[in-house]
Amino acid sequence: MPFDVARIRQAHPALAEGYAHFDGAAGTLVAEPVARAVAGVLGGAVSNRTTAFAPGRRALAIVDAARAAAGDLLGADPAGVVFGQSATALVYTVARGLAGTWEPGDNVVVTRLDHDANVRPWVQLASAMGVEVRWAAFDPATGALPVAAFEPLVDARTRVVAVTAASNAIGTVPDVPAIAALAHGFGAVVHVDGVHATAHLPVDVAALGADYYVTSAYKWSGPHLAACVAAPAQWERTAMLKLLPSSDAVPERFELGTPSFELLAGFTAAVDFLATLDDAGTPDDTGTLNDAGTLDGAGVLDGAASRPRRERVLRSMAAVHSYETRLFERLLDGLRSMPAVRVLPAPAGGCPTVSFRVAGEDPATTAARLGDQGICVFSGDYYAAEYFTAMGLRETGGAVRAGIYHYTTADEVDRLLAAL
């Protein structure tokens, strides 16, 4: 079935403003059913969680629905879904929760390709616990992060291997299953940063071998809310400081205070929306908040609703991947044809995100020049600080980043290339 980008764009009314968004790696526009779900909770009778009355039961249902949605998105057990303000906050939660058992002589393995959110919490906790940090290096000539980079680092004293499922700078997708198998062979825990990957690839946390996998919904048409998934038994082994009266049960133990019910409803709506991407037709827009904590009919297409959501998500994300890959080739071909543009190397088959520099122009100037023409790209290090330091580019402004998202069109790619 062809990928119906026009239908998808219609579901993002903000695109009508006319900007060309190549900034999805920093955050996407939300889909309209997501905005409606958030507004539906804020405008509806939703109390704090209690079983005593219906608006309180709605809040309970909203939380359950969001855990189920995260489970369907990632192939995870809903009972092991922990929500948090951001991926960064959740990595700190996990790192603090694991570090208490580390001892001098242990080590943690981090990479120079990762976003700092999956680096610095481990480095800082390692320093606090007197534990060695070992760095897995990417190949600067290719942008690859091979399993071989981990082999000399991981041993019986390795407590954690923290690795990205996809680079937010150059799109590299490391062989996480092989890296996880290596780590597990030595009894280490594998923490996977899925923030960039989740927007572009079908995800199965079990197939990845991730003990923890973190994602942020604002990178895939959702609200500013993150989730970290792990097996409930893994969370049981993770420590957490909490208030006396609050639940010690998994996963609630890790979610301090009252959750944002509106963002949780938006999270569910975003997963429901992603599940529609490979189907023809128009999302049903009859959505009204129901007692199950979701919008009636939101994002569900006629004839498609009978398939389980997990199956629809996987099909949709496979369709997204092939659509985005084709557009990305057009973008890369165009960039590489310009003698003044230096494209930073990345292996084929990664996520559709490229970093480049224009000769004689610092990256911030290039981004501003494109921004003046309504083309949204980021410049700098985008928090991939170790990557840009290793490439020797951090001091001189990093690079310009352009990413394809599933609402990007070939016309927008051509517009970016022409503006450059």
Residue 292's CB is within 10 A of a number of other CB atoms, namely: 14
Rounded to the nearest whole angstrom, what is the least distance from the CB of residue 7 to ligand PLP in the complex?
A: 27
**What is the sign of the dihedral through the CA atoms of 260, 261, 262 and 267?**
positive
Rank residues 27 and 78 by Cβ distance to ligand PLP and give the closer one: 27
Rank residues 38 and 166 by Cβ distance to ligand PLP and give the closer one: 166
Rank residues 25 and 61 by Cβ distance to ligand PLP and give the closer one: 25
Beta carbons within 8 Å of 244's beta carbon, 6+ residues apart: none
Q: Alpha-carbon distance 289 to 296, whole Å?
A: 6
Rounded to the nearest whole angstrom, what is the least distance from the CB of residue 11 to ligand PLP in the complex?
A: 23
Rounded to the nearest whole angstrom, what is the least distance from the CB of residue 131 to ligand PLP in the complex?
A: 22
Beta carbons within 8 Å of 270's beta carbon, 6+ residues apart: 30, 31, 34, 69, 217, 220, 221, 222, 223
Rounded-to-5 percentages of helix, strand, coil across the chain = 40, 15, 45
Which of 8-16, 81-89, 104-112, 199-207 is the region at the interface with ligand PLP (rule: CB under 6 A)?
Answer: 81-89
Rounded to the nearest whole angstrom, what is the least distance from the CB of residue 362 to ligand PLP in the complex?
A: 21
**Contacts of ligand PLP in 21-50 (CB under 6 A):** 25
Total residues in contact with ligand PLP, by rule CB under 6 A = 14
Query: What is the DSSP code string of 359-384?
Result: TTS-HHHHHHHHHHTTEE-EEE-TT-
Q: Alpha-carbon distance 411 to 420, whole Å?
A: 14
**Contacts of ligand PLP in 236-295 (CB under 6 A):** none
**Contacts of ligand PLP in 336-365 (CB under 6 A):** none
Q: Phi and psi (nearest 5°) for 400?
A: -105, 135
Side-chain-facing half-sphere of 39: CA atoms under 13 Å: 9
Rounded to the nearest whole angstrom, what is the least distance from the CB of residue 295 to ligand PLP in the complex?
A: 24
Per-residue contact string for residues 384-403; x = within reach of ligand PLP by CB under 6 A: --------------------
**Contacts of ligand PLP in 86-145 (CB under 6 A):** 86-88, 115, 117
* Residue 168 in contact with ligand PLP, rule: CB under 6 A: yes
Structure tokens at 398: 């990093």
Rank residues 87 and 275 by Cβ distance to ligand PLP and give the closer one: 87
Rounded to the nearest whole angstrom, what is the least distance from the CB of residue 420 to ligand PLP in the complex?
A: 23
Q: Alpha-carbon distance 31 to 38, whole Å?
A: 11
Looking at the DSSP bridge assignments, the partners of residue 191 are 162, 212
Rounded to the nearest whole angstrom, what is the least distance from the CB of residue 329 to ligand PLP in the complex?
A: 22
Q: Alpha-carbon distance 287 to 116, whole Å?
A: 38
Rounded to the nearest whole angstrom, what is the least distance from the CB of residue 399 to ligand PLP in the complex?
A: 15
Query: Residue 167 in contact with residue 322, Cβ under 8 Å?
Result: no
Rounded to the nearest whole angstrom, what is the least distance from the CB of residue 196 to ligand PLP in the complex?
A: 4
Which of 84-92, 97-105, 236-244, 346-354 is the region at the interface with ligand PLP (rule: CB under 6 A)?
Answer: 84-92
The correct pick among 226, 313, 332, 367 for binding ligand PLP (CB under 6 A) is 226
What DSSP character marks residue 99?
H
Rank residues 197 and 289 by Cβ distance to ligand PLP and give the closer one: 197
**Contacts of ligand PLP in 174-213 (CB under 6 A):** 193, 195-196
Residue 128's CB is within 10 A of a number of other CB atoms, namely: 12
- Alpha helix (H) ranges present in 154-285? 176-185, 205-208, 232-236, 261-274
Rank residues 226 and 377 by Cβ distance to ligand PLP and give the closer one: 226
Which of 68-76, 82-90, 202-210, 290-298 is the region at the interface with ligand PLP (rule: CB under 6 A)?
Answer: 82-90
Rounded to the nearest whole angstrom, what is the least distance from the CB of residue 65 to ligand PLP in the complex?
A: 21
Report the interface residues with ligand PLP, using CB under 6 A: 25, 86-88, 115, 117, 164, 168, 193, 195-196, 216, 226, 383
